[in-house]
């Protein structure tokens, strides 16, 4: 940490000691223009952070922190395609997947844009064929069900958006997602599917992910068993795999070895991080659900946010402000968690998506320099759809006595308009942010008192459409990047995840059979394995 950056953090800590008692009631009472000064509008998206415990002084200090951390320089390195993922020596070019225009973007001397455009053309051609019914399965019938087999970044983004945009989804094409290696995720779904009309997408960057490959092998066996149940079985089996198994991967060679036809592989580059990959061919199931035109609107909304993030002044830069508010809450005021509450049932999976985006990116305690961080970084994220969440864990927010900031997301126009519903939904959203901010501290008896002063931000989208969703998700991506810079973290690796994968592969032979463990393990793990063996043997 440079002396300038260390001084900026110290100034924030010093200011926090004087502002820790700031009252949102007083801030609003003393400033009738607070909403207009502490809100930001970008392309129809409103970000209201006036209910955060932020003053002009604290915001000025946070902006100086961004300068000291050289956020603008890191931002230019990101958009220039430099290898800012230092531990893996890779660029982080997810933004290139949604670029408009024909301007080249060079990575190690190679323009990556022609490959991106070619893949997008293939996505359009294939999705149009499937959605129109021209693409047929082995029996000559059109596809009626899509099953995406992927986990993490190969699942959460497309799954969340398929749910969010179901109002514009294909009327007869069902899109399903299977992520868990638990057979309870895949088996019940297979029982409902017709093998003649089901298309499987195996989505895995490396094509080695244990959960995805296990599910893919089972799905392949299911399809082969059904397709081969006739006199011309071998021919039908080959046709079934060629027509009804698709791969999305950065390792085409491994997908071909699995048995997927080369022309059924949709590639993406290794500079696309998993949790940033929904804009790539990983979005294929979403494209099949909503069509390529709508998917391109999603890309356009994200591209507009990219341009805003790169060019807007700091005091008006929405992703930068999001990041600074979050850092103030977690790294200065001490909030260890925050909630994401979309007041939209269609956006119910948004908290799940953001958990991976932020916690996998910045859930670290070692900086880019290899040294321990001087303060806590990423807070834990939890959440759920309003109004359901109000009747579950909002009690803790109002009277639990902990600092738990909230991001609310509201939509002006309903995607499923029914008389009287959406007005009540919006009223509930805005009432909760008001109640958290101002509470009822003088209520009598005492157990009715809500102290308030709980910080929140509110995002308002005009409608739940691809363009504005693209802008919102890109804003959260850039927020995550900026916070990584402020904390001194490489936001684009995930070595903690890799450790668990490695250990699972080591333990698997001992769990599958009575094979002794290849290497010694702790007595607890050995005891758990022995217990499972004993239970299985008793039931044989």
Q: Treating both helix axes as pointing N-terminal to C-terminal, what angle do 71-79 and 292-311 enclose, rounded to 10 degrees?
A: 140
Tokens of 124: 């359009």
Tokens of 538: 């008793």
The catalytic residue positions are 360, 391, 501
Q: Rg of the chain's alpha carbons, rounded to an integer? A: 25
184 φ/ψ angles, rounded to the nearest 5 degrees: -65, -15
Q: How many CB atoms lie within 10 A of CB 396?
A: 12
Residues 336 and 376 sit within 8 Å (Cβ to Cβ): yes
Residue 216 to residue 161: CA distance in whole angstroms: 23
Widest Cα–Cα separation across the chain: 83
Residues 279 and 302 sit within 8 Å (Cβ to Cβ): yes
Residues 93 and 107 sit within 8 Å (Cβ to Cβ): yes
Give the closest residue to 180 by CA, choosing from 147, 220, 222, 211.
Answer: 211
Collect all residues with Cβ–Cβ distance below 8 Å to 87 and sequence separation of at least 6: 490, 493, 495
In this structure, the chain runs to a length of 540
**Exposed, middle or buried: residue 52 (CB in 10 Å: 0-12, 13-18, 19+)?**
buried
Residue 467 to residue 294: CA distance in whole angstroms: 8
Please list, residue by residue across 183-206, b when 16 or more beta carbons sit within 10 angstroms of its beta carbon and e when fewer do: eeebeebbeebebbbbbbbbbbbe
Q: Which residues partner with 267 through β-bridges?
A: 249
Residues 263 and 223 sit within 8 Å (Cβ to Cβ): no
Residues 429 and 408 sit within 8 Å (Cβ to Cβ): yes
Q: Which residues partner with 148 through β-bridges?
A: 177, 201
């Amino acid at each position: 940490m440079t002396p300038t950056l260390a001084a900026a953090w110290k100034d924030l800590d010093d200011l926090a000691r004087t502002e820790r008692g700031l009252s949102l009631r007083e801030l609003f009472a003393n400033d009738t223009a607070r909403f207009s000064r502490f809100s930001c509008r970008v392309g129809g998206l409103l970000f209201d952070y006036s209910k955060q415990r932020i003053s002009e002084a604290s915001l000025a200090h946070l902006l100086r922190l961004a300068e000291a951390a050289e956020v603008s320089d890191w931002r230019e390195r990101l958009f220039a395609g430099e290898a800012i993922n230092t531990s893996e020596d890779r660029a982080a070019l997810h933004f290139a997947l949604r670029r408009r225009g024909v301007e080249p973007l060079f990575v190690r001397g190679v323009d990556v844009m022609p490959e991106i455009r070619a893949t997008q053309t293939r996505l359009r051609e294939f999705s149009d064929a499937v959605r129109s019914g021209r693409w047929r399965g082995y029996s000559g019938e059109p596809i009626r069900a899509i099953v995406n087999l992927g986990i993490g970044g190969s699942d959460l983004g497309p799954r969340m958006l398929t749910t969010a945009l179901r109002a514009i989804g294909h009327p007869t094409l069902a899109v399903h997602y299977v992520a868990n290696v638990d057979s309870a995720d895949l088996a019940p779904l297979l029982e409902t599917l017709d093998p003649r009309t089901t298309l499987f997408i195996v989505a895995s960057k490396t094509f080695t992910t244990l959960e995805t490959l296990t599910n893919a092998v089972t799905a392949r066996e299911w399809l082969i068993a059904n397709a081969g149940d006739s006199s011309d079985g071998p021919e039908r089996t080959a046709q079934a795999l060629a027509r009804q198994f698709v791969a999305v991967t950065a390792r085409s060679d491994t997908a071909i070895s699995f048995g997927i036809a080369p022309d059924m592989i949709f590639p993406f580059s290794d500079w696309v991080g998993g949790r940033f990959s929904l804009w790539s061919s990983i979005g294929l199931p979403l494209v099949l659900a909503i069509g390529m035109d709508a998917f391109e609107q999603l890309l356009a909304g994200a591209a507009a946010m990219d341009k805003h993030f790169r060019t807007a002044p700091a005091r008006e830069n929405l992703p930068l402000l999001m990041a600074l508010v979050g850092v103030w809450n977690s790294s200065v005021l001490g909030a260890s968690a925050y909630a994401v509450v979309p007041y939209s049932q269609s956006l119910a999976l948004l908290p799940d998506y953001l958990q991976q985006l932020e916690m996998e990116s910045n859930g670290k305690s070692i900086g880019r320099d290899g040294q321990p961080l001087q303060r806590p970084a990423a807070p834990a994220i939890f959440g759920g759809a309003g109004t359901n969440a109000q009747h579950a864990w909002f009690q803790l927010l109002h009277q639990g006595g902990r600092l738990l900031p909230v991001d609310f997301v509201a939509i002006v126009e309903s995607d499923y308009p029914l008389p009287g519903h959406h007005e009540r939904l919006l009223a509930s959203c805005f009432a909760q942010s008001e109640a958290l901010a101002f509470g009822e501290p003088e209520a009598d008896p005492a157990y009715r008192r809500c102290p308030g002063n709980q910080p929140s931000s509110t995002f308002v989208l005009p409608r739940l459409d691809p363009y504005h969703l693209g802008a919102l998700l890109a804003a959260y991506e850039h927020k995550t990047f900026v916070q990584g810079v402020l904390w001194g973290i490489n936001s684009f690796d995930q070595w903690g995840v890799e450790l668990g994968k490695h250990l699972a592969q080591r333990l698997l032979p001992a769990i599958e059979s009575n094979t002794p463990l290849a290497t010694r393990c702790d007595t607890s793990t050995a005891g758990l394995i022995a217990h499972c063996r004993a239970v299985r043997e008793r039931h044989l």
